[in-house]
Amino acid sequence: MNAPDESSLPASARLALLASLGTDGLYDDDASRIAYSYDNSKRQALPLAVVLPGTHAQVEAVLAICAEHALAVTARGRGTNTTGASVPIAGGVVVSFERMRRILQINVADRYAVVEPGVLNGELQQALAERGFFWPPDPTSAPFSTIGGNLACNAGGPRAVKYGACRDNLLALRAVDGRGRGFRCGAPTSKGAVGFDLARLLVGSEGTLALITEATLKLVPLQPARCGLRLLYADIESAASAVARIMAQPITPCALEFMDAEALALVRRNGLDLPPGQALLMVEVDADPDSMARAADAIERAAQGAGLLDCLRAQRPEDSAALWAARKALSPALRSLAPKKINEDVVVPVSRLPELIARVSKLGARHGIRIVNFGHAGNGNIHVNLMYDPAEPGRDSAAQACLAELFEIVIGLDGTLSGEHGIGLAKRPFMRQAIDPHTLTLMAAIKQVFDPHGILNPGKLLPDPLPADIRA
């Protein structure tokens, strides 16, 4: 679907939306359209209007109206996405879920919570912590990203290494398809074997199949004790090898993060006192107090090896907190240095991580692009930041060539394009390289079943298939 030529909603569609939402549920003034025209990718496209539903029934009405009038629909949480997935490139209507932010139920006996999509991740975590539980996904944007947005791109964060990402911590969904028809999938049970698993299919679909209006999330008890370890290495290859050793032994850390020399230099400039070293691993172990020392010892033994310069166990919670605060501040700090930087979150099997790190180092030198690496090493999920200024002659083409080669390396290592940011606009051109043609055909057929009019987030995630691809 191409962006419409009209600069305003068709009158009949506007009247129908007003009747369903009321005057405070529809905004089509210039200021509102601009406010909802971009996300954290820095891409921008104006919608025709913005709607703010407050109930599942209103979402059904909005999508039915948009289907009738062939209006594109782009769902939006708080716009923290970095791939352009929530940019309304086809115009149409932005559906913002900021008014659907109720925590409907917290059931600790059955270990689940039911929430609306506009609930902030941080708000939910606070409510759960008071009851001794948490929801594992904890992206850097947790204080200001929504559960709906987290689910849309299968967000993870540091804890995913032990507890999994969104898809692993979801039980059921309520959603609305591209016809405006509501449905439920999944169940609030820890086991289930009834039909296709549509709930987890929707996770990571970036609003291209249906709009989520309610989610039942799996809860995990908070462990009573935590221990942080700071490991400094002489070079990034030594650190990458240590990650493989740590993940090959039986104790799974609840977080295993990585920073290269460029990231460490930025952290040091921001005031964190660290000994000399070219690469850092931040490890956190959670357990009951009786087994904590044994677990931390096991991680420390695995960390030993060539290149290890310093190993420190955090003695105080505030020491560990300072280190994690520095890690979470990295991505915003890098964007302040290079606002147009490319931040890719590629993933390879953990055993292939040393090879990935070594090849990425050579990649930057070959293309003359400064690369900063950090991320969730325990999952093999590395944030590769290409630091450049596209306004500088020749830099944009060099960065794009570097990016294409990065993805080629990752795919060659049995990896994948994204661990948690999703595809959106940024990685869509590489989907045919990453996924075989028949699998893409199956995905396109699924898209057509959920969204026969093609109104849900058009131009995102999947490459445009020919009609014959779906009929084949």
Same domain? For 183 and 242 the reply is no
User: Is residue 108 in a domain?
Assistant: yes
Contact 206/85 with Cβ under 8 angstroms? yes
The 3-state DSSP class for residue 426 equals: coil
**Residue with the two structure tokens 């009951």:** 288
Q: Enter the tokens of residue 199.
A: 């709930």
Cβ 219 vs Cβ 102: under 8 Å = no
Nearest CA among 239, 235, 237 for reference residue 258: 239
Asked if 91 and 46 touch (Cβ cutoff 8 Å), the reply is yes
User: Kind and range of the H or E element at 336?
Assistant: helix 330-337
pLDDT in tens for each of the 472 residues of the chain? 444 445 789 999 999 999 999 999 999 999 999 999 999 988 999 999 999 999 999 999 999 999 999 999 999 999 999 999 999 999 999 999 999 999 999 999 999 999 999 999 999 999 999 999 999 999 989 999 999 999 999 999 999 999 999 999 999 999 999 999 999 999 999 999 999 999 999 999 999 999 999 999 999 999 998 999 999 999 989 999 999 999 999 999 999 999 999 888 888 887 778 888 999 999 999 999 999 999 999 999 999 999 999 999 886 777 778 777 777 777 777 877 787 888 899 999 999 998 998 899 899 999 999 999 999 999 999 999 999 888 888 899 999 999 999 999 999 999 999 999 999 999 999 999 999 999 999 999 999 999 999 999 999 999 986 455 544 3
Q: Output the domain CATH number for residue 126.
A: 3.30.465.10
Q: What is the pLDDT of residue 470?
A: 47
Pair of tokens at residue 217? 């999330």
Residues 293 and 324 in one domain: yes
Give backbone dihedrals phi and psi of 240, rounded to 5 degrees, phi first.
-65, -40
Print the domain residue range for 137: 103-221
Task: Confirm whether 240 is domain-assigned.
Answer: yes
* One domain, residues 384 and 400: yes
CA gap 379, 206 in Å, rounded: 22
Q: How many domains does the chain have?
A: 5
Residues 285 and 189 in one domain: no
CB 167 within 8 A of CB 203: yes
Q: Which helix (H) or strand (E) holds 286?
A: strand 279-287
* CATH code of residue 238: 3.30.70.2190
The whole-number pLDDT of residue 465 equals 65
Tokens 């200024």, located at residue: 389
Give the helix, strand, coil percentages of the chain, each rounded to 5: 40, 20, 40
| Inter-residue contact 375 to 353 (CB < 8 Å) | no
Question: Where does residue 233 rank: exposed (0-12), middle (13-18), buried (19+ CB within 10 A)?
Answer: buried
Between the alpha carbon of residue 134 and those of residues 55, 111, 186, 204, 223, the distances in Å are 26, 10, 20, 21, 10
For residues 227 and 317, is the Cβ–Cβ distance under 8 A?
Answer: no
Q: What is the CATH number of the domain that holds 19?
A: 3.30.43.10
CA pair distance 325, 329, nearest whole angstrom: 6
Same domain, 302 and 347: no
Instruction: Let me know: does 161 contact 379? Beta carbons within 8 Å.
Output: yes
Domain-ending residue, one of 68, 96, 124: 96
In which residue are the tokens 């003034």 written? Answer: 29
Contact between residue 184 and residue 172 where contact means Cβ atoms under 8 Å apart: yes
**Pick from 183, 252, 107: nearest CA to 450:** 183
Q: What is the pLDDT of residue 326?
A: 74
Q: Are residues 349 and 321 in the same domain?
A: no
Count of alpha carbons within 13 Å of 214, Cβ hemisphere only? 23
Local structure of residue 462 (DSSP, 8 states) = S
Host H or E run for residue 211: strand 210-218
Amino acid identity, residue 173?
A: L
pLDDT at position 464, please? 83
Write the CA distances from 324 to 21, 251, 276, integer angstroms.
43, 21, 19
Q: Which of 79, 96, 113 is the last residue of a domain?
A: 96
Q: What is the pTM of this model?
A: 0.92
Residues 208 and 315 in one domain: no
d(CA 239, CA 430): 29
Measured between alpha carbons, how far is 289 from 84 in angstroms, rounded to an integer? 44
Q: Are residues 35 and 133 both part of a single domain?
A: no
> Which of 96, 119, 142 is at the close of a domain?
96
**In terms of domains, do 144 and 205 share one?**
yes
Residue 382, C-beta contacts closer than 8 angstroms, at least 6 positions apart = 258, 345, 346, 347, 348, 353, 356, 357, 360, 373, 374, 375, 376
Mode of pairing for the β-strands spanning 133-134 and 182-186: unpaired
Helices (H) and strands (E) in the chain, counts: 17, 18
Closest CA to 369 of 340, 398, 404, 406: 398
- Does 365 map to a domain? yes
